[in-house]
Amino acid sequence: MTQSEEIEKRIGITLKNKDLLAQAFMHRSFVVENRLGDLASNERLEFLGDAVLELVVSDYLYKQFATQPEGMLTQWRSMIVNTKTLAQAAMELGLGQYIFLSRGEKSSGGFEKERILANIIEALIGAAYIDSGYQQAKTFIVSAILNRAAALLTTSQNYNPKGILQERVQANKRVIPEYQVIEESGPDHQKIFRSAVFLEKEKLAEGTGKPKKEAEEDAARNALTQFPPINNQ
Given 46, 105, 114, 122, which residue is catalytic? Answer: 122
* Contact between 145 and 57 (Cβ < 8 Å): yes
The reply to whether 122 belongs to the active site is yes
CA geometry: angle 55, 56, 59, nearest 5 deg:
85
Closest among 196, 201, 190 to 223, alpha carbons compared: 196
For residue 227, report the phi and psi dihedrals to the nearest 5 degrees. -130, 115
* Contact between 25 and 116 (Cβ < 8 Å): no
Q: How far apart are CA 152 and CA 85, in angstroms?
A: 9
Q: How far apart are CA 54 and CA 175, in angstroms?
A: 35
The reply to whether 218 belongs to the active site is no
Closest among 67, 66, 65 to 80, alpha carbons compared: 65
* 145-180 b/e (C-beta count within 10 Å ≥ 16 → b): bbeebeebbeeebbbbbbebbbebbeeeeeeebebe
User: What single DSSP character describes residue 6?
Assistant: H
Given 50, 105, 214, 216, which residue is catalytic? Answer: 50
What three-state secondary structure class fits 194? Answer: strand
Active-site positions read: 50, 122
